[in-house]
Amino acid sequence: MNIREAKEEIIRTIKAYTAVDEDDQPVIPISAQRPLLLMGPPGIGKTAVMEQASKACGVGLLSYTITHHTRQSAVGLPELVHRTYGEKEYTVTQYTMSEIIGSVYEYMERTGHKKGILFIDEINCVSETLAPTILQFLQFKTFGTHKVPDGWIIAAAGNPSEYNASVRELDMAALDRVRLIHVEADFGVWETYAQKRQVHPAILSYLAMHPESFYRVELTREKRQFVTARGWEDLSRTLKEYERQELQVTDAFMEEFLRCPQIAADFSTYYRLYQATAGAWKIPEYLKGTLTAKERAALLEQWKNAGAEERCMAVRHLLAAASRWMSDLGRESRYLKREKEVLEQLVMAAGTRTSAEFFADREQARRIKKEHGILESWEEKLEIHVDRELKDCLLGRQMTGQQTSEQIRKEQAGLEAKREELVRALNRTTEDLKSVFGEDLELADWLGGIREQGDYEWCGFDASGYDPLMIEKRLEQQVKRQMAEMEEHYETDDRI
């Protein structure tokens, strides 16, 4: 199955395993709750999908890479204790708590999560001394003599032997105690994820034209080449920062992330073309509607006569510009919404705390959450911005709460005007693409990309009327990719 199907199965499992009856007992007995084992090639998102599933279900997640552990840290250290059996005292060996199990209890205290997933990565790469411990863990849900707390689900992941020389094949006894899920790379699924994560548009447009380059692994004695989903996403992050600082992007830079020279060189050439067309086509000016009628007509005519690769590139340029606009609008919307909420809290606390004390308490709460690992970076950035803006109004400019509230309302009105301008731009672009390309793949890619953008809900643009078109074209793409994969695997040129 692909990674999205795996995520859905993990979510279903969490719901089933954490369900309790009227006596608050597990509906499925703990002894019958088989651990999940995700088996698939490296870099396709097995760890990320666990994070997404745990957030979707509102449960905790504690991850460990088992290859980083020794038998002592996994099982615990032996210590001598005295026991009386019958009338005679004996010295016996007892094990301290496993570092892993201890961390689960610490995580529960730190975060308040009483239910969660204990995720063990690279489970089939353990040393010979740890192999019996892992079998015991899968069978009895214990490390050493200490059990995983009730309410916690066990999940694990591993790589097939062809991708990792240190893999130990799990025997029948181990496999008979897990729910084995085979996960495969799937560009179509990753593309949806990548659009929400705002992966670099050059990467998305290149892979849309060359999906066979999305994932490739050749690990032989003669050749060690690989390109993974992780590599593309890491390349995207670094490439964006290079562009922001106007740093040189070389062919060698691409190979640092795409460890297949042919794909790295091909994408490097494509990227240079992508950058060149961005300026030539005046994408920001087109989207803002500042081109002259003559310039706009010439640009649309150029797209109409372009080849498939240039068409795809044009759509990705448009999506990149629209995405930046939507992100700015979404960020401002979240900031204003939160400013209003915090101001209301401040007004309610006016009788018990000064404004300075109120903001000091908020800063202290953030610090505590951050120390305990339960403050997301985006959340921290949001709260710091809100405090800075409100403190500037209330403490810096000595505005009253009523005046600050009025200031927020004015900013909200300005934001609505920006939202209306964005909607007009998206509608205009949609109509232009429809007139140039018809109701075809380019229009479906544009609308689908807008829908998948993380801040779509804030912008007020409605693309629901094109749902049948997007479904049809996505299905066509899926069939084409499947046919391409079949041709790649079963290439049978006439040789008779």
The pLDDT tens digits of the residues spanning 60-109 come to 887 777 666 555 555 655 667 777 777 787 777 655 556 777 888 888 88
Selected residue with higher pLDDT from 288 and 369: 288
Structure token pair of residue 378: 């985006």
- The whole-number average pLDDT for the span 471-477 is 63
Q: Does residue 338 contact residue 384 with C-beta atoms inside 8 Å? A: no
Q: Is the pTM of this model over 0.75?
A: no
From the number of C-beta atoms within 10 Å of its C-beta (0-12, 13-18, 19+), residue 1 rates as: middle
Q: What are phi and psi of 129, to 5 degrees?
A: -70, -25
- The whole-number average pLDDT for the span 226-247 is 92
| Tokens 């005679």, residue located | 88
In 3D space, the residue among 430, 411, 420 whose CA is nearest the CA of residue 458 turns out to be 420
- The whole-number average pLDDT for the span 174-199 is 83
Asked if pLDDT for residue 261 goes beyond 60, the answer is yes
For each of the domains in the chain, give its residue range(s) and CATH number, in order of start: 3-184 (3.40.50.300), 195-279 (no CATH), 281-484 (no CATH)
| Tokens 């204990």, residue located | 118
| Tokens 């929400």, residue located | 196
Structure token pair of residue 20: 């309790």
The CA distances from residue 461 to 163, 226, 273, 341, in Å, are 44, 40, 31, 25
Asked if pLDDT for residue 254 goes beyond 90, the answer is yes
Half-sphere exposure for 259 (CA within 13 Å, toward CB)? 15
Q: Does residue 251 contact residue 268 with C-beta atoms inside 8 Å? A: yes
State the CB neighbour count (10 A cutoff) for residue 280: 10
Q: What are phi and psi of 292, to 5 degrees?
A: -70, 165
Asked if pLDDT for residue 492 goes beyond 50, the answer is no
pLDDT of res. 494: 44
Asked if pLDDT for residue 394 goes beyond 60, the answer is yes
pLDDT of res. 120: 82
Query: Best-predicted range by mean pLDDT among 106-115, 293-302, 362-371?
Result: 293-302
Asked if pLDDT for residue 245 goes beyond 80, the answer is yes
Between 27-31, 71-75, 409-413, the lowest mean confidence (pLDDT) is in 71-75
In 3D space, the residue among 218, 441, 198 whose CA is nearest the CA of residue 322 turns out to be 198
For residue range 281-337, list pLDDT tens digits in order.
888 899 899 999 999 999 999 898 888 888 888 888 899 889 889 989 999 999 999
> Which secondary structure element, helix H or strand E, spans residue 362, and what is its range?
helix 355-371
Selected residue with higher pLDDT from 482 and 346: 346
